[in-house]
Amino acid sequence: MNSGPIVRIEGLTRRFGPIVAVDRVDLEIARGELFALLGGSGCGKTTLLRMLAGFETPDEGRLFIDGQDMTDVPPYRRPVNMMFQSYALFPHMDVAANVGYGLRRDGVKAAEIAERVAEILTLVHLQDHAKRKPSQLSGGQRQRVALARALVKRPKLLLLDEPLAALDRKLREGTRFEMVRLQEQLGLTFVMVTHDQEEAMSMATRLAVMNAGRIAQIGTPHEVYEHPVSRFVADFIGIANIIARDGGGWMALRPEKIALSAERPGLPRTIAGRIVDVAYEGDRSLYHVETDAHGTMTVSTTNTSRSAGAAFARGQPVWLGWADESGQRLEA
Amino acid sequence: MTGRARLAFGVLAFGYAFLYLPIALVIIYSFNESRLVTVWSGFSLKWWHALFANEAMLEAAWLSLRIALVSATGAALLGLAAGYALARAPRFPGRTLFGSLVVAPMVMPEVVMGISMLLLFVGSERLFGGPDRGFLTIVVAHTTFSIAFVAIVVQARLTDFDRALEEAAMDLGATPWVTFRTVTLPLIAPAVGSGWLLAFTLSLDDLILTQFVAGAQSQTLPMRVYSSVRLGVDPQINVLATIVVTVAACALILSGWLTRRKV
């Protein structure tokens, strides 16, 4: 068995007419990673995922899976399975037939198919639903059938296209933990596409932020959040105040790294301002503070006490303060 | 019942009467005892017996049935291929032209189609010495005419079809042909089935096109009926109409049910 990266992409490019959807992307994904491709719509993340699955043929570049060149291999001969955003469950087959479909294509014996289907359905807690049709399942159950169907062939690589987008918010949070648990338990490599930065941050071991067909930054969620390399990344992940640095260039300062007080604080950097907007979010409050030095800045405070409302009112003069190391210098 | 509701009900009843009363009359008069088509003189099955003893009529019916079965099957296969190509194939040269040609028989006057078919068969007879006009030429003409109806329902069905289903099958290891056989075809089968039934009914009662391409020897049921009506109407026509209406109604109901059925 090869011990190199499970996925190696070299200069991969895909054009649709005049549009370059994926532009000379280089990427390596290690075994056992839960890797997220994160970006807004049209950034090329889905096209990149579809090239990994084999549904799109790259115009340039090579794609290796487990050391083998897969660039021109059709989807049905790749050791890769995908979970679709719409789940794409076959409506004319029951849950067991859906999950067993891939094994039947491989000519696995009926007894073994039944065994492996039962095993994977137990893993996703659907052992009692094997005879149901997809139309008789809830959204969350369908999602788990789609996951089971993609996992049952034990692919070298599991691709997930917006795996949680169709679920409601409450269910999504529980499912996140469940998917991370499955990934660790099975020791597989997951590559998922998402537009939801919270989802990418909380699930991924590493993520790639994409913009206009290119990878803007690759790193762990912590690296990408605390050490963004560009204004685009700083702005895309969470909220960032992008302010001019003394020596030229730019710096990103997260709202929670700024201290907000009525009196001038004893911090290396302080500026005066006035609150122009307050957004109370329950666990925290967000303030828009008008400053002379840097325009409108966003600052957050954690609401640790249960006293009514936010600590500062609209129109109130305040001081902002931060330490030099609180901000991240941006390269671009 | 309010006045408004009564009026609405009246309009509805009138509409139904307008549509179905003539058919109901035909069915009732098929059990008439009288030899006159329009005068009721008592219940009898004698015209039913007469029809089933009418060799020429039965022969024509059997010919029509065989033509309808073969041409509907041919149209279903070709229409499936045409609909699939129109919905799925990426751009190919002449795609727009192909799309219009497929539906052309639906809008072209049947007389025009009849003449062009006749010219084709006469020409082929001159060049290749065949085929003889009869069963085969009628089947070819009916198939050509019905492809459009199958192609259109198949294409519509494939347009609403979630492409991800086919991609999922391929992702799970199915070759394009296996994908078509195990996923696409089972899901569009109701559309193909309802197209087949439509083609079957169209073939069964076609008269104009058939007149052009049928030889001297082969008379289909509508041709036979038409010529016998010209010689003077006999209540056997009512019996025949009753049978045809029943078969057509069953086919249409089945076709509608197949189209609506959720899979």
Give the closest-approach CA distance of A152 to chain B in angstroms. Answer: 10
In this predicted structure, what is the pLDDT of residue A4?
84
Choosing from A231, A256, A272, the residue where a domain stops is A231
Residue A74, pLDDT > 50, answer: yes
Q: Does A105 touch chain B (CB under 8 A)?
A: yes
Task: Provide, rounded to the nearest whole percent, the portion of chain A with pLDDT above 90.
Answer: 68
- Averaged pLDDT for residues B237-255: 83
From the list B167, B170, B173, the residue facing A106 with the nearest CB is: B173
pLDDT band at B39 (very low <50, low <70, confident <90, very high): confident
In this predicted structure, what is the pLDDT of residue B56?
84
| pLDDT single digits (tens) A91-102 | 999 999 999 999
In this predicted structure, what is the pLDDT of residue A317?
92
Q: Is residue B7 part of a domain?
A: no
| pLDDT single digits (tens) B116-145 | 989 998 888 888 877 778 888 899 999 998
Residue A281, pLDDT > 90, answer: no
Chain A residues within 8 A of B175 when measuring between CB atoms? 76
Give the closest-approach CA distance of B249 to chain A in angstroms. Answer: 28
Note down the domain range covering A306: 241-330
ipTM over 0.95: no
From the list A82, A92, A135, the residue facing B171 with the nearest CB is: A82
Same domain for A54 and A186: yes
Note down the domain range covering B249: 54-260
Give how many domains chain B has, as a whole number. 1
Same domain for A180 and A96: yes
- Averaged pLDDT for residues B66-90: 91
B171 to A86: CB separation less than 8 angstroms, yes or no: no
pLDDT band at B233 (very low <50, low <70, confident <90, very high): confident
pLDDT band at A276 (very low <50, low <70, confident <90, very high): very high
Say which residue, A306 or B13, is predicted with more confidence.
B13
From the list A75, A89, A150, the residue facing B170 with the nearest CB is: A75
| Mean pLDDT, all residues of chain B | 87
Chain A residues within 8 A of B185 when measuring between CB atoms? none
Give how many domains chain A has, as a whole number. 2
- Written in H, E and C, the secondary structure of chain B is CCHHHHHHHHHHHHHHHHHHHHHHHHHHHCCECCCCCCCCCCECCHHHHHHHHCHHHHHHHHHHHHHHHHHHHHHHHHHHHHHHHHHHCCCCCCHHHHHHHHHHHHHCCHHHHHHHHHHHHHHHHHHHCCCCCCHHHHHHHHHHHHHHHHHHHHHHHHHCCCHHHHHHHHHCCCCHHHHHHHHHHHHHHHHHHHHHHHHHHHHHCCCHHHHHHCCCCCCCHHHHHHHHHHCCCCCHHHHHHHHHHHHHHHHHHHHHHHHHCCC
pLDDT band at A310 (very low <50, low <70, confident <90, very high): low
Interface of B with A in 80-139 (CB under 8 A): none
* CATH code at position A55: 3.40.50.300
Identify the weakest region by mean pLDDT among A11-25, A64-78, A153-167, B28-42. B28-42
Same domain for A51 and A147: yes
pLDDT band at B1 (very low <50, low <70, confident <90, very high): low
pLDDT band at B262 (very low <50, low <70, confident <90, very high): very low
In this predicted structure, what is the pLDDT of residue A309?
63
